[in-house]
Structure 1
Amino acid sequence: MTVTPENVHDDKGPKILAVLWTLTGLTAVMVGARMFIRLRMLKSFGIDDYLIAISTVLSLAYCGVTTAGVSVGYGKHAKDLTQENLEMAILLNTISFLFGILSFTIPKLAVTAMITRILCPGLKQKIWLWLLVGTAAAVSCICIIILFTMCDPPEALWNVHLAMTGGATCRNVWILIDYAIFTGALSAFVDLYLAFYPVTVLMKLQMSLRKRIALCAAMGLGSIACAMAIIKSTQLNGLADKSDYTYGTADLVMWTNIEADVVVIASCIPTLQPLLELIMGKRTLGSYGGSGKYKQSSSNYNTATFDRSKRSAVKDDLAITNVEGKESQESILRDDQLQQDKDFPMDAIRRTDNVTVEYESRSAHEHPPEGSW
């Protein structure tokens, strides 16, 4: 980046830390709430929850390594740094990209796991979803390999003196930039697809338009991550700024973190309804049983329970967190669509009801009141 009289004294370090730690802190709170709901309230912890937890750890690692880089001068102009601090800042920044790329790749796997668990797509659609996301993950991993093999030996990536004296051979940096742009474009497409696929299914729900729109908005927040991926891709040219690397790549560092955190936040929002109900007093913590079902209890009655599986119209109080695999509350397709396939049709969710029959004993001399069984 060209040094001008306007930016000659700029230091993007404080801005980097403010953006990274504010957004990552918010993400950590959202993930913590999700973990509380899934573990403590619903007692149903899935593969998507594990992946989101891993993504959060990677995001925190990204912030930690970047913070260390800022402490030695990352975000300042290279001319303002000593040779030692410059090389350490570049080294830490290079390492941070490892965590950064993984932190926006793994959440896509988590979102896919959540979608397949909630919407129960057919086999072909499920294969397509995992193939698409798996391809994006593979492309991202190749991007990491390209980054760390740009120079021989690899330490020339951050050892400026080694590269300048001819002690190392490095490939054209535009190979990395062009591939990274391709990776960003594919990442944006996957984010967009994962956002809009649930909308095409959820709009078929038999419930009020207002609630359908609310569910679609919750599941479609990943489209914001698509926009973040596009913006991040526009910042990749900074990798070519070898003369002022610590300043020229600062925006790329911020947008990489923003993209990753937005994907995680978008995946958490649809799971937070039980906690909102608890905070608003609509439910109590004890009203949630295992496997995402609400508990029903009676202190003065003998009870008998049985399970009944059926498909029916969706109730207006459907919570997205309760629509899960065999534990689902409802089938989400209309009856005429359900007739098309006897074997659990694509995009349908089987409903399993726990019915509790309550009764109390009466003496032989008592007469039941009018209208009782």
Structure 2
Amino acid sequence: MVVTTQNLDDDKGPKILAVVWTLTSFTLMMVVARVFIRLKMLKNFGIDDYLIVVAMVLGLAYCGATTASVYYGFGKHMVEVEEHGNLVMAMLLNNVSFLLGILSFTIPKIAVTSMLTRIMNPGLIQKIILWTLVSTAAAVSCICIVILFTMCDPPRALWTPALQASGEATCKSTWMLIDYAIFTGAISASVDLYLAFYPMTVLMKLQMSLRKRLALSAALGLGAIAAAMAIVKCTQLHGLADKSDYTYGTADLILWTNIEANVVAIASCIPTLQPLLEIILGKRTLGSYSNGNSGGYKKQSSNWNASTNDRSKRSAARKDDLAITNVESQESILRSDGGKNNHVQESSNEIHMSPIAIRRTDNFTVDYESRPQAGDGTHGSW
């Protein structure tokens, strides 16, 4: 961007801080709610929960580094920052924030994969596919970090432009980093899409109402939004090539990196928040969990349909930490046209639905009258 007297005072810093801290604060509330549910209510804190906590810590560190870089002038035009003698510190903190940002949107993908393998109980081949994809995305992201910090020799030339200008340091072409970062973004978006659509392919085969299938698919498929954010972020990578105005040109990239990381974390938390939602809506009380009376949220021995074409293929149920209980139907199987000595059989089907397990309980109530004794002069029927 050409800097003129008209735009010399442009400053993206306030916008950066407003977006980054607002979104990160909301993500923090979601993570705290998730930790409370899984640790205190369900007492079933898993690996995916630990990973989300780690990602949240990295996200907060990212916000801290970004805030400090804005304090030193990041978001303003480079000539303005250099005039105040803050260029080196602003660029150093910016590079640190990129490191934290890459990790903060990579680790939640691992957490989501861990959650899906736990609650969807996929077969061996599907597990291999899931973990291969997320491992590839993590490896590609780590390589991107390595490329970033080995662009210059010595590495401190990344945040000290004077070294390269004086010939004391040599740096590779910035487009090498940009091209690889675009590749990283494409891999990241592809993995997000797969993690979003995989649960849908399983849930749509289950024998439950379409509304429930769509609701669960939406809850587990929010990662598709993160894929869109990754694509948008890729369009901002060209700012890395603007060496003449680095502190201003890469400001939007900072924003979209944070947005992508937070969206992935939020998408991983939403499917775990149902118990808290039930308490808020008054459907359950906190005491029902603390007293161990959590119904469908406790361990259950259950089976669930893996295919509508082959009902004999069932998987063993695991810990049921997320359940939706609904009375699917209650109907009279045998109804009478009249009379008092009738055999009435009623059926109540309960479907306990969860990404971890789906339990169906069929309760039958049979009411009948005793057959009259012989010789009493009356005739009865079942």
| TM bracket, shorter-chain basis | 0.7 to 0.9
Closer, same or farther: CA 72–203 of 1 in aligned 2, 3 Å? same
Q: Which residue of 2 aligns with 1:154?
A: 155
1:237/1:191 Cα in 2 relative to 1: closer, same or farther (>3 Å)? same
Paired position in structure 2 for 1:97: 98
Q: Offset at 1:351?
A: 6.1
Matched, 1:337 2:338: no
Residue 178 of structure 1 pairs with residue 179 of structure 2:
yes
Residue of structure 1 equivalent to 2:348: none
**How far off is 1:4 after superposition?**
5.0
- The one-letter amino acid of 2:202's match is V
- In 2, the alpha carbon distance for the partners of 1:277 and 1:188 equals 33
Q: Is the partner of 2:244 in helix, strand or coil?
A: coil
Aligned pairs for 1:1-373 within 5 A = 1-3=1-3, 7-82=7-82, 84-288=85-289, 294-295=293-294, 322=297, 327=300, 330-333=303-306, 336-339=309-312, 341=313
CA distance in 1, matches of 2:71, 2:260: 23
Residue 353 of structure 1 and its aligned partner are, at CA, apart by 9.7
Q: What amino acid is aligned across from residue 52 of structure 1 in structure 2?
A: I
Instruction: Check whether the contact 1:43–1:289 (CA below 8 A) recurs between aligned residues.
Output: no
* Structure 2 equivalent of residue 360 of structure 1: none
Q: Is the 8 A contact 2:77 2:245 kept in 1?
A: yes
SS at match of 2:36: helix
Amino acid at match of 2:153: D
5+ unaligned residues in a row in structure 2: which ranges?
318-354, 362-368, 371-382
Matches of 1:194 and 1:235 in 2, distance apart? 24
Structure 1 residue 205: Cα displacement: 2.2
TM-score where L is the length of structure 2? 0.80
Superposition deviation, residue 344 in structure 1: 5.5
TM-aligned CA distance change 1:13 to 1:295, over 3 Å = closer
Flag the 1:199–1:170 CA change in 2: closer, same or farther, 3 A: same
Q: Secondary structure at the match of 1:124?
A: helix
* RMSD of aligned Cα (Å): 2.6
Structure of higher RCO (CA pairs closer than 8 Å, 6+ residues apart): 1
Q: Kindly tell me the number of residue pairs found equivalent between the two proteins.
A: 326
The offset of 1:91, in angstroms, is 0.5
Superposed CA offset, 1:96-123 (max 9, x none): 1110000000000000001001100001
CA distance in 1 between partners of 2:70 and 2:208 (Å): 51
Tell me what 2:350 maps to: none
Q: Structure 1: state its 5+ residue gaps.
A: 297-318, 355-369
Instruction: Report the CA distance shift for 1:213/1:3 in structure 2 as closer, same or farther (over 3 A).
Output: same
| Distance 1:343-1:225 versus aligned 2 partners, 3 A rule | closer
* CA spacing shift, 1:156–1:284, aligned 2, 3 Å: same
Structure 1 CA distance, aligned partners of 2:81 and 2:179? 29
Identity %: 67
* Separation of aligned partners in 1, 2:276 and 2:186: 35
Q: CA deviation at 1:352?
A: 7.6
Task: Give the whole-Å Cα distance in 2 for the aligned partners of 1:170 and 1:327.
Answer: 59
Measure, in 1, the Cα distance between the counterparts of 2:261 and 2:301.
29
Amino acid of the residue matched to residue 272 of structure 1?
Answer: L
Superposition TM-score, scaled by structure 1 size: 0.82
Secondary structure of residue in 2 paired with 1:40 = helix
Find the aligned partners of 1:351 and 1:200 in 2 and give their Cα distance: 16
Equivalent AA in structure 2 for residue 223 of structure 1: A
CA deviation profile, 1:315-351 (whole Å, cap 9, x unmatched) = xxxx8xx5x9x75755143565231x47759xx9666
Residue 81 of structure 1, CA deviation? 1.6
CA contact (8 A) 2:304 2:315 kept: no
* CA positional deviation for 1:32: 0.4
Following TM superposition, by how much is the alpha carbon of 1:8 offset from its aligned partner in structure 2, in angstroms? 3.0
Residues 4, 193 of structure 1: alpha-carbon distance in 2 compared, 3 angstrom cutoff = farther
Larger Rg: 2
- Residue 46 of structure 2 aligns with an amino acid whose one-letter code is G
The amino acid across from 2:67 in the alignment is T
Deviation at 1:288, TM superposition (A): 2.2
Once residues 102 and 328 of structure 1 are traced to their aligned partners in structure 2, the CA distance between those partners, rounded to angstroms, is: 38
